[in-house]
Each structure stands twice: as C-alpha cells, then as structure tokens.
Amino acid sequence: MVKEDASLKPVVTAKTSSVEETHNLAALLVEIFRPGDVVVLSGDLGAGKTSFTQGLGLAMGIETPITSPTFTLANRYEGKLVLNHLDVYRLDRFQEVEELGLSELIDSNSLTVIEWGDVISSVLSEGFLEIRLRLGENQDSRVLDFILIGQRWVEREIELVSLVSSFSIENGE
Ligand code: ADP
Ligand code: MG
C-alpha cells in the first residue's frame, strides 16, 4: 500500500491566472494519462478542483458538462478514456470509502479523478498524481503543486515537468 509521505515535495509548481488557463493546463495533462490512472485533487473549497476536472473533460472529448458529483459521489463520463469523477468531501468514515467500490471504479480503461482525495489517499495502492490547488495572489490566480506518489508516477516525472513547463513557476519566478 502506498502511503502519502508528508516529506514528499512537489516535482513542479504551476500558476494559472484564470479559469481558462486552469482548463488549458488540465488539457495538457491528458497526454500523460494512462488507463487506470488516479488523480487526487486537494485544496480548499473554491480552489479550482472541479474547474480543473472540467478542463480535463473538455480535452478528453466529453460532451456532457462536468459538475460536482454532489449527491452521487461518483460520476462516470465517456471520453477518449472513461472519466470517473469523485468528490469525497463528505466521506469521513473508512466504511464509506469502502462502499465507494474504488477498486471496481479504477479499472484498466478509465481515468479516476478524486476531489478531496487526500482524505482517502492511503487506500490508493497503485500510486497516484496529487495536484494541490490553492489561491494565488489575486482572485483569479491559482497555484498548483504536482506530487508524484508511487513508481507508476515517479517514472513520469520528466514528462510531467516538461508538459506543464509553460505554466511552471519554478526557478524563482
Ligand atoms: P473546488 O472544486 O476546488 O471547490 P471550483 O472549481 O468549484 O473549486 O471553483 C473554483 C472557482 O474559482 C470557480 O468559480 C472559478 O471560476 C474560479 N476561478 C477563478 N480563477 C480560477 C483559476 N485560475 N483556476 C480555477 N478556478 C478559478
Ligand atoms: Mg469541487
């Protein structure tokens, strides 16, 4: 089982200046995903987790508008890959996590995106990409830290850093 290690540092940090830029950043990432991948989105309410997922959906050719899976916990969309979109904000008991049936959702032809997923990351045995979102210096800017958990993601570090380089704020920018 892969446990999140508090000492793990982001491999890259990106900044967006509008919701459109967050969509564009998400769209770049579509190229790196493999069937069976899990993306954990963390960050406060309003940080942009759902907006990021909507950008992914657009880039994956999903025509149904992506909304927060408030009452269902998980939505499933057909795109280039199947997109499972979960929001586990209200889950506070491990029991409920089990009831989600994560292992059935995370199958070999889908991408699974979990908002507030840091709460359940300890049960994600195959590793995942964590994107931590936070507010930037003004109302429309957001800062996104990319953290790789597990070999499945660590081996994609160079590719990831290169993909998001146009949004990267590393090197003291
Ligand atoms: P969360 O799912 O994290 O609660 P949402 O994506 O639902 O957040 O909400 C983010 C809000 O912030 C949206 O109203 C969006 O339009 C706004 N916003 C402003 N700037 C940005 C940005 N750079 N990236 C993402 N969202 C932004
Ligand atoms: Mg949301």
The dihedrals phi and psi of 99, each to the nearest 5 degrees, come to: -65, -20
Among 25, 51, 58, 70, the mutation site with the greatest number of ligand 1 atoms within 8 A of its Cβ is 51
Integer Cα distance of 139 and 129 in angstroms: 26
Residues near 3 by Cβ (< 8 Å), separated by ≥ 6? 121, 122
pLDDT at residue number 71: 66
- Minimum mean pLDDT range among 3-7, 96-100, 147-151: 3-7
Residues near 8 by Cβ (< 8 Å), separated by ≥ 6? 147, 148, 149
Average pLDDT, the chain: 89
Checking if the pLDDT of 171 tops 80, the result is no
- Distance from the alpha carbon of residue 68 to the mean position of ligand 2, in angstroms: 6
- Minimum mean pLDDT range among 35-44, 61-70, 137-146: 61-70
Q: Which domains does the chain have, with CATH numbers?
A: 34-140+147-169 (3.40.50.300)
pLDDT at residue number 160: 98
What residue's CA is closest to ligand 1, atom 24? 19
Integer Cα distance of 15 and 36 in angstroms: 27
- Distance from the alpha carbon of residue 64 to the mean position of ligand 2, in angstroms: 17
Which residues are within 5 Å of ligand 2 (an ion), measured at CB? 49-50, 68, 115
3-state secondary structure of 7: coil
- Distance from the alpha carbon of residue 95 to the mean position of ligand 1, in angstroms: 30
The encoded tokens of residue 164 equal: 């998001």
Checking if the pLDDT of 111 tops 90, the result is yes
Nearest one of 91, 3, 8, 86 to 49, comparing CA atoms: 86
Checking if the pLDDT of 1 tops 70, the result is no
In this prediction, residue 172 has a pLDDT band, given cuts at 50, 70 and 90, of: very low
In the block, which residue shows the tokens 């890959």? Answer: 81
The encoded tokens of residue 75 equal: 């939505």
Per-residue pLDDT tens digits for 82-94: 999 998 887 766 5
The encoded tokens of residue 117 equal: 């997923």
CA distances from 11 to 22, 43, 168 (A): 18, 17, 10
- Distance from the alpha carbon of residue 83 to the mean position of ligand 1, in angstroms: 20
Ligand 1 atom at minimum distance from 16 CA: 23
- Distance from the alpha carbon of residue 133 to the mean position of ligand 1, in angstroms: 10
The dihedrals phi and psi of 16, each to the nearest 5 degrees, come to: -120, 150
pLDDT at residue number 95: 64
Integer Cα distance of 83 and 109 in angstroms: 9
Nearest one of 90, 59, 89, 91 to 77, comparing CA atoms: 59
- % of the chain residues with pLDDT over 70: 90
What residue's CA is closest to ligand 1, atom 16? 19
Ligand 1 pocket, Cβ-based, cut-off 6 angstroms: 16, 18-19, 21-22, 43, 45-51, 115, 140-142
- Minimum mean pLDDT range among 76-90, 96-110, 147-161: 96-110
Per-residue pLDDT tens digits for 51-76: 999 999 999 999 999 998 766 778 99
